[in-house]
Structure 1
């Protein structure tokens, strides 16, 4: 039995997701159009888009019986090899089959391939509406009599069965749509990256829930600011561009710049000379790679991005220290833009940014920490949110004027959020 997956470049998945699955499924083979280090790869022969590339697992690139596994599948233990072709029963519509985890015999593979080869373009045009949707829509007409995993093995759906934890007997958990496994941060989901691989900043989302964060900038007030805010043992400290590391050992370094401006040396080299703390950055020297930040892809000030990163990591409050280094420039407009994406209290120890966020007050208390709903959006999870229209726009059939508020599912306003037509409350 061959264990196989497919990776078509240009979509939501990349080589790191193949390696993640291969760590769970030894001997995994990948049909792909891009190299995947450490995994046996077979070139895709056709330019079929998206999930339609999965149809190549039925073709002559593979021999014999094949276990076909989608990349967003958690395999706790491989089920026993079936005696006949076995597919998923759709987890929400039992009359439909699912194609995310299939065992297909050589005979059935050949039969399906011959049918598909007769008119692949026609099938792709035809299978665009539920219930005849996607590759499973096509396969329904050819594998409807196959056995179903759920009749013999503990194969579960994350959305249907695992929200409250992993069932004790689970062998396979299928993720369909969002969230992806690596975005759930569930203890039973293998981490996407293992050392020394590059990790994603999303691995740090909510990693320090309810903590006070301190962001250290390079302004002349930094030493006084750190004394003023009385750093505590439980604080999480982010140094921007290596500032303040001689005053307080940082938990993280964050840099948006590729080169250290005054030293004219690569920023990664500069940071590693200053500290061994994990680096958060969009550049190759990062330990945690930033793929998104407010106003991305513009490289805005590291201190402002660090404040947003602290919010995403679970800050109960963010205190900005040493942020008076740009008094000769008007960065308040930049800060106001980024403030729209920071949904936790921010306080400024000293400096012109008190025009955007309140000044730090040692007597102020902030109550119980509750993650804002936008955190789910950063993790790729669809959820219900409250929005306010910044400009006249339309959500479905609902016309919104500026200032109107509405409760919607995140996916309904994804593009409106991206283009700042609405803001999340």
Structure 2
């Protein structure tokens, strides 16, 4: 199994962010699928299509990609924190997606694509449906959480296993399972009723879907991105506490 991130370079995500994630992976076999010419310290494979934003993730399903096409993949969003061992994640057999954190507990809850296990044998289904109809599919207007790449992937794999079912408590949401009212990104809608600001025991991966990004929190279990970034985050924390 190969761990893969995807970086389409832009204002929000740069090669430095890919380096930040891949440092967390240590010596695990991993690479970044990217349009960057080079990312020092990070093995890379090229994006072969000019699909914008999150749509670049569909290249994970290209069974003919010369570097990743034949591989089983564990895909991880770049704005993700690894907080424990990933050994258990190598034993999966079926395509696996997140249940959208905003819809947990709902019947027929839609999937999310922030963390995915993609077996090589399943890739052709999404690829054949997308590659020749990409412009039309990307132009479709669908409301969250049925939008974008995850909406399309979920349509192709309605039988996908869900992480929250096969590995309960191991992949969590910062907003749903950690943040409190005094922390950035707190959401009354997402809060699970027990989150108390600390990292739950047993969590292996923490997803940061949207704002804040992990490097904007200055939390002790989040790897530092840069000194300037950490100082800025701590100043915001201080001001938030003063406002009470």
The runs of 5 or more residues in structure 1 that have no matched partner are 193-198, 210-311, 315-342, 344-368, 374-425
Query: d(CA) in 2 for partners of 1:93 and 1:143?
Result: 18
Per the alignment, residue 27 of structure 1 pairs with 29
Matching of residue 84 in structure 1 with residue 94 in structure 2: yes
Q: Report if the CA contact (8 A) 2:100-2:145 is conserved.
A: no
Per the alignment, residue 3 of structure 2 pairs with 3
Per the alignment, residue 156 of structure 2 pairs with 142
> For residues 146 and 185 of structure 1, do their structure 2 counterparts lie closer, same or farther at Cα, with a shift above 3 Å needed?
same
Per the alignment, residue 165 of structure 1 pairs with 198
> For residues 85 and 127 of structure 1, do their structure 2 counterparts lie closer, same or farther at Cα, with a shift above 3 Å needed?
farther
Query: d(CA) in 1 for partners of 2:206 and 2:136?
Result: 32
Q: Deviations over 1:177-210 (max 9, x none)?
A: 0010111111111112xxxxxx352211264x7x
Residue 157 of structure 1, CA deviation: 0.6
Per the alignment, residue 184 of structure 2 pairs with none
Size of the aligned set, in residue pairs, is: 211
Query: d(CA) in 2 for partners of 1:187 and 1:69?
Result: 21
Q: Report if the CA contact (8 A) 2:73-2:117 is conserved.
A: yes
Q: Report if the CA contact (8 A) 1:74-1:174 is conserved.
A: yes
Residue 107 of structure 1, CA deviation: 1.5
Per the alignment, residue 224 of structure 2 pairs with 191
Query: d(CA) in 2 for partners of 1:40 and 1:121?
Result: 30
**1:68 aligned to 75, 99, 107, which one?**
75
CA RMSD in angstroms comes to: 2.1
Which secondary structure does the structure 2 equivalent of 1:57 belong to? helix
Q: Report if the CA contact (8 A) 1:204-1:313 is conserved.
A: no
Q: TM-score, normalised by structure 2?
A: 0.80
Q: Report if the CA contact (8 A) 2:218-2:233 is conserved.
A: no
Which secondary structure does the structure 1 equivalent of 2:203 belong to? coil
Query: d(CA) in 1 for partners of 2:111 and 2:22?
Result: 25
Residue 69 of structure 1, CA deviation: 0.8
**1:121 aligned to 135, 139, 143, which one?**
135
Per the alignment, residue 93 of structure 1 pairs with 103
**1:156 aligned to 161, 172, 176, which one?**
172
Residue 27 of structure 1, CA deviation: 2.6
Structure with greater helix share of residues: 2
Which secondary structure does the structure 1 equivalent of 2:206 belong to? strand
Residue 54 of structure 1, CA deviation: 1.0
Query: d(CA) in 2 for partners of 1:155 and 1:175?
Result: 11
Bigger relative contact order, structure 1 or 2, given CA contacts below 8 A and separation 6+? Answer: 2
Per the alignment, residue 109 of structure 1 pairs with 123
Q: Report if the CA contact (8 A) 2:171-2:206 is conserved.
A: yes
Query: d(CA) in 1 for partners of 2:173 and 2:141?
Result: 23
Query: d(CA) in 2 for partners of 1:204 and 1:181?
Result: 14
Q: Report if the CA contact (8 A) 2:3-2:76 is conserved.
A: yes
The runs of 5 or more residues in structure 2 that have no matched partner are 180-196
Query: d(CA) in 2 for partners of 1:161 and 1:168?
Result: 11
Larger gyration radius, structure 1 or structure 2: 1
Query: d(CA) in 2 for partners of 1:178 and 1:65?
Result: 30
Q: Deviations over 1:1-42 (max 9, x none)?
A: 111011111230111111111112233211111121111111
Residue 126 of structure 1, CA deviation: 1.4
Deviating runs (4+, > 3 A) in structure 1?
369-373
Q: TM-score, normalised by structure 1?
A: 0.47
Q: Deviations over 1:268-293 (max 9, x none)?
A: xxxxxxxxxxxxxxxxxxxxxxxxxx
Which secondary structure does the structure 2 equivalent of 1:203 belong to? helix
